[in-house]
Amino acid sequence: MGEDGTLGDLQDKVCVVIGGGSIAPGWGIGKAIAVSYARQGAKVAVADANLAAAQETADLVSAEGAGAIAVGADCTDEAAIRALIDRTMAQFGRIDVLHNNVGIGKAGDPEATTPDDWRRIADANITALHISALAALPHMKAQRSGVILTTSTIAAIRHIGYSHLPYGVTKAAAIQFSRLMAIEYASYGIRANTIVVGIMDTPRVRVTLTGAYGGDEEAMLARRHRQPPLGTMGNAWDIANAAVFLASDKARYITGTELVVDGGLTATTRM
């Protein structure tokens, strides 16, 4: 419920956010999504491979006055994800939104990407989507409603100025996964969409990408701010706001498509 007493856009909904922790201090995308869902009235189950990170986000959700649980779960572990869904159902009785906010990659020369690297990245970025859907779909089908959201990246639809081949390819597959799921399950009232994320200023950028820009963090941040036509990187809240919209009934007629949140970058030839 908002400060003015009005109900939030996700009032009494139950949202599962996989990848809801933050890799470092600050507001990662998953953390901001979970808290934004809570601020709009939802109960939130937060899952992350790092239980402490999931718990930190769940505590923030609770501080918003919303029901919350934290679960440590590897997104590629079928048993762990089924346990997450079972616990959510036991705690809250339904699942309205399944948000897959997971993704890993390996920047650098494609020839340095081994088959084992590729399998590991594909499992996290593609197979994990199927695992979570298999666990949640029976409940969504039974209630004849639900939203499946996936966080992808502009690297899935264009080169982003440095080598990131397995990440871009597998995240492109994630977009197609959402499109096809939307058609397969539309008759059950289930929608599926993808948020395509542009160049963001999040804790993960500093931890994982500094080397891809030559190792100078300040130079990397300055370069990234120059790239989008709007003149600055976005942040986790820009993605969270998009997620709230797509998860809500305001987007009831939107399915099988992508919402690009990138400050106009994919409309340009800038790198």
d(Cα 76, Cα 120) in Å, to the nearest integer? 9
Instruction: Identify residue 99 by its one-letter amino acid code.
Output: H
Question: What pLDDT sits at residue 215?
Answer: 74
Please tell me the distance from the alpha carbon of residue 47 to that of residue 154, in angstroms, as a whole number: 24
Structural domains of the chain in order of their starting residue, each with its CATH number: 14-198+239-258 (3.40.50.720)
pLDDT of residue 4: 58
One-letter amino acid for residue 43 of the chain: K
Q: Known catalytic residue: 167?
A: yes
Position 97 scores a pLDDT of 98
Residue for token pair 């006055």: 65
Residue of 37, 162, 167, 185 marked active site: 167
Residues (pLDDT < 50) of the chain are: none
Which residues make Cβ contacts (< 8 Å) with residue 233, sequence separation at least 6?
A: 198, 199, 200, 201, 221, 224, 225, 263
pLDDT of residue 52: 98
Two tokens at 46? 């937060």
Q: Which helix (H) or strand (E) holds 195?
A: strand 190-197
Entry pTM: 0.93
Q: Which of 41, 66, 71 is nearest to 55 (CA)?
A: 71
